Amino acid sequence: MKNTLECLKNLITNIYMKKLKAKYLKWKTSNEHYERVAYAQHTGEWEFLKTDKEYSNRLEYAEHTGEWEHLRNDKNHYNRRRYAEHTGDYEFMKTDENEENREAYEEHARMFE
């Protein structure tokens, strides 16, 4: 009896997980950036967010995985600044295209004068 109930429980769990996986798989390629993050959160697959078109998802990847290097040359100025704040590497922002990032570099450099 116990084995039968255990088998039934496992079968129901497997069916449920397959349905969830199909649902989450749609989120991986969704046009909604928050669904792509939800996919990563539910499946544990984060790597695809490293190059996501949404800047906040690339940042989410860095915060979750601890891998920040890809943000150093990110097309979004905010992500480049977050990289500098996290790593302490501000030198590359000395000539950044974004004025606020150049100011952040100058402010950081003044702390060490």
DSSP letters for 46-100: -GGGGG-SSHHHHHHHHHHH---GGGTT-SSHHHHHHHHHHH---GGGGG-SSHH
pLDDT for 81:
97
Which SS3 state, helix, strand or coil, does residue 76 take?
Answer: coil
Over pLDDT 90: what percentage of the chain? 73
pLDDT at 28 over 80: yes
Report whether 58 contacts 50 (CB < 8 A).
yes
pTM of the model: 0.78
